[in-house]
Amino acid sequence: VNLSDDNSRVTATLPTGESVEILLHGATVISWKSGGVENLWLSEKAVLDGSKPVRGGIPVVFPVFGGPPANHATSTLPSHGFARNSRWEYLGKSTSESGALSKGGDDCVKLDFGLYTATLSEEAKKAWPYDFGLVYSVTLGKDGLQTMLNVRNEGKVAFEFQMLLHSYFRVKDVSKVAVKGLTGVTYIDKVLNAQIATESNPAVRITGETDRVYQSIPQDTTSIVEADQPRYDVVRDNLEDSVVWNPWKEKAASIGDFEPKNGYINMICVEVGSVKGWQKLDGGETFEGGQIIRSSP
């Protein structure tokens, strides 16, 4: 495990060659390599200096997903909340951790990152005046990557939040991709004026701008298949919702830090989260949710 000289990022590599790189800005995973290939898409114009959220990798969305609602505690927060645009602290690593990804030892390494009220910008504190603590754990294993967010209410006043891990997966050609495991699930179609629909297709294909919020998904795994070969399995842990997003050509052209412009062909977002309604925490209570991603390069 290595903290960069400029204290901006942490990298870890396993003896078997897998690697992960996390930017302290937003605790954004910006690279995850396994089987010799990069699994995450990162825009060539992603801003990595902390001045704005990272376009790509795995941005952490908290305490609100999307544009905040009116007349709500999150109303004056930026879209997708402050977590992805805040400086997190590196809390350290542990290798003895055995869990979903491995039996411990040196076949996995767990890196922890923290964000607390005390380290939040004045602007964010003013916009969302609750006493909270986040610990984001990134565990690199031989057979996958686990990212878990632990949310704690450190105050006495209850608060509610949404969370989502905005993962940009790298693919060779999105026109050959199918997303499986969503049959029968209700979704909000943000491209079709937020109309509610039910997924009738066992294999969701991307043929244009796609922005769907699938809710209350009964089983925990969403699979990304490419050219009929399994590529990623995204397993939700204590989260029931997932967003499938691809900007496609026109939207990609309109996003300033989205480069190359035809990069929409090489990415698909499958974003696990709790975004239907709100999770409520009373003082002292915690919530933990996240994902395990298995890659078959």
- CA 81 and chain centroid, separation: 13
Q: Which of 21, 97, 211, 240 binds ligand TA6 (CB under 6 A)?
A: 211
For ligand TA6, the closer of residues 79 and 195 by Cβ is 79
End-to-end CA distance of the chain: 24
Of residues 92 through 151, those in contact with ligand TA6 by CB under 6 A are: none
DSSP secondary structure string for all residues of 76-87: TSPTTBSGGGSB
For ligand TA6, the closer of residues 211 and 233 by Cβ is 211
Q: Which of 4, 16, 79, 98 binds ligand TA6 (CB under 6 A)?
A: 79
Q: How many CA atoms does the CB half-sphere of 36 hold within 13 Å?
A: 0
For ligand TA6, the closer of residues 25 and 80 by Cβ is 80
Q: Using CB atoms within 10 A of its CB, is residue 231 exposed (0-12), middle (13-18) or buried (19+)?
A: buried
Residue 24 carries which DSSP code? T
For ligand TA6, the closer of residues 29 and 243 by Cβ is 243
Parallel, antiparallel, or unpaired: how do β-strands 19-23 and 28-34 relate?
A: antiparallel
Q: Is 271 in the site for ligand TA6 (CB under 6 A)?
A: yes
Question: Which H or E run contains 104?
Answer: none
Least separation in angstroms between residue 285's CB and ligand TA6 is 27
Residue numbers annotated as active site: 166, 271
Least separation in angstroms between residue 283's CB and ligand TA6 is 31
Q: Which of 190, 259, 266, 276 binds ligand TA6 (CB under 6 A)?
A: 190
Least separation in angstroms between residue 247's CB and ligand TA6 is 7
Q: Is 80 in the site for ligand TA6 (CB under 6 A)?
A: yes
Distance CA 291, CA 14 (A): 20
Distance CA 268, CA 245 (A): 6
Contact predicate 147/291, CB 8 Å: yes
Of residues 230 through 269, those in contact with ligand TA6 by CB under 6 A are: 243, 245, 269
* Contacting residues toward ligand TA6, per CB under 6 A: 53, 66, 79-80, 166, 190, 211, 243, 245, 269, 271
